[in-house]
């Protein structure tokens, strides 16, 4: 059963990107494929993501960069989408590139689902204070990832088990899977902790 839908950003997440690693190591995770990773169309991307949520309802959406913004646009446009939550990693400002500009302004209203935003202090695609402000508007929890760049291969993030741990904060386990301790902590770069 698929319980995690991975939503890459511009140009996809080929190996050794952490989303590719995640899909290869977790049989309950699947990358949502797009017709064109290099020439993103908001309408086409949102349609593919929405279709994936129909096939795999109540999954957690895990988006990176432009994929995170696609998730936000989906939730702002189609609040009836059935998901368990959203993990938005290193959201990107569409205006930073002509290739991503068609995604337009980022919606800034509550997303209506449990959401975590993980952003770094030195991300070239979005300043952390902007990401923190968006998280407030979305009524999302915010994780300071320290100086982690764009949380991609270039910044040293191939395998990234912390992402799976953050996803687990959004996915309520069944009684059989529930650990004995109710409190879950996730260690992230910069020595920060997130608690549900």
Task: Please give the residue that has the higher pLDDT: either 100 or 177.
Answer: 100
Give the count of domains, the chain: 1
Three-state DSSP state, 165: helix
φ, ψ of residue 173 to 5 degrees: the values are -70, 155
Give the pLDDT confidence of 20-53 residue by residue, as tens digits.
Answer: 999 999 999 999 999 999 999 999 999 999 999 9
**Contact between residue 56 and residue 7 where contact means Cβ atoms under 8 Å apart:** no
Give the pLDDT confidence of 69-126 residue by residue, as tens digits.
Answer: 999 999 999 989 999 999 999 999 999 999 999 999 999 999 999 999 999 999 999 9
List the domain range (segments joined by +) for residue 170.
4-194
- Domain CATH code at residue 110: 3.40.50.1820
Question: 188 has which bridge partners?
Answer: none
pTM value surpassing 0.85 = yes
Q: How far apart are CA 123 and CA 189, in angstroms?
A: 14
> What is the per-residue DSSP string for 33-81?
--S-SSS--HHHHHHHHHHHHHHSTTEEEEEETHHHHHHHHHHHH-TT-
Closest-CA residue to 31 (of 10, 55, 49)? 49
Closest-CA residue to 52 (of 73, 33, 26)? 33
């Amino acid at each position: 059963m698929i319980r995690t839908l991975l939503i890459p950003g511009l140009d996809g997440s080929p190996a050794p990107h952490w989303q590719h690693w995640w899909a290869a190591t977790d049989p309950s995770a699947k990358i949502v494929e797009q017709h064109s990773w290099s020439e993103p169309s908001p309408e086409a991307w949102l349609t593919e993501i929405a279709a994936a949520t129909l096939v795999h309802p109540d999954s957690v959406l895990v988006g990176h960069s432009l994929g995170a913004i696609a998730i936000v646009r989906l939730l702002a446009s189609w609040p009836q989408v059935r998901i368990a939550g959203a993990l938005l990693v290193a959201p990107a400002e569409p205006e930073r590139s002509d290739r991503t500009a068609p995604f337009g302004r980022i919606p800034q209203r509550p997303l209506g689902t449990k959401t975590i935003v993980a952003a770094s202090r030195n991300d070239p695609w979005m300043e952390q204070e902007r990401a923190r402000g968006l998280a407030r508007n979305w009524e999302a929890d915010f994780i300071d990832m320290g100086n982690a760049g764009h949380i991609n291969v270039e910044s040293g993030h191939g395998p990234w088990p912390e992402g799976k741990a953050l996803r687990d904060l959004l996915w309520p386990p069944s009684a059989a899977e529930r650990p004995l301790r109710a409190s879950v902590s996730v260690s992230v770069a910069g020595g920060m902790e997130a608690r549900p």
